[in-house]
Structure 1
Amino acid sequence: MNNVEGIVADDLLIPLNKKKLLEPGIIIRRIGKDKDQQGCFLQYGDDNGLILINIIDMKTNTLVVSKGLMKPKRGEKLYYYKTTFRNSPAAEEAIAIVKNWDLYKKHRDIQTSIIRFVSATYVPEQILDLKKKDSLSLIFIPIQQKFRIGRFKDRRNPERICHDRFRFWLESLNEGEHITYVAQVLQQKDYTPRFYSSGTKPHVVTIELLRNEIFNFQPTHGGHIKTAGVKEGKKHFIVDAGSHALGSGANTPLNTSEKITEALIKLYPEFQFTPKQGRGAFGKEQSY
Structure 2
Amino acid sequence: TSPWQFRTCRCWAWGALGLLVLGLGSTVEARFAFLIRSVEVVITAGLFLIAGVAFAGITVGLFSVLGVEISEVMMRLLVAGGFGLLPILALATVYDPTRGPLEQDFSQGLSRFVHTLMRLMLVPTLVVLAIYIVFIPMNFMEPFRHRDVLLVYNVMLFAVMGLLMGALPVQAGEVSERVRVWLRRGVVAVGGLALLVSVYALAAIVYRTVTMGGITINRMTVIGWNSINITLLGMLLYRQAGRDDTAWVDEVQRVFALGTNAYLLWTLFLLLGIPLLF
- What band does the TM-score fall into relative to the shorter chain? under 0.3
Structure with the larger helix share:
2
Structure with the larger strand share:
1
TM-score normalized by structure 1?
0.25
TM-score normalized by structure 2?
0.25
Q: Which has the higher contact order (CA 8 A, sep 6+)?
A: 2
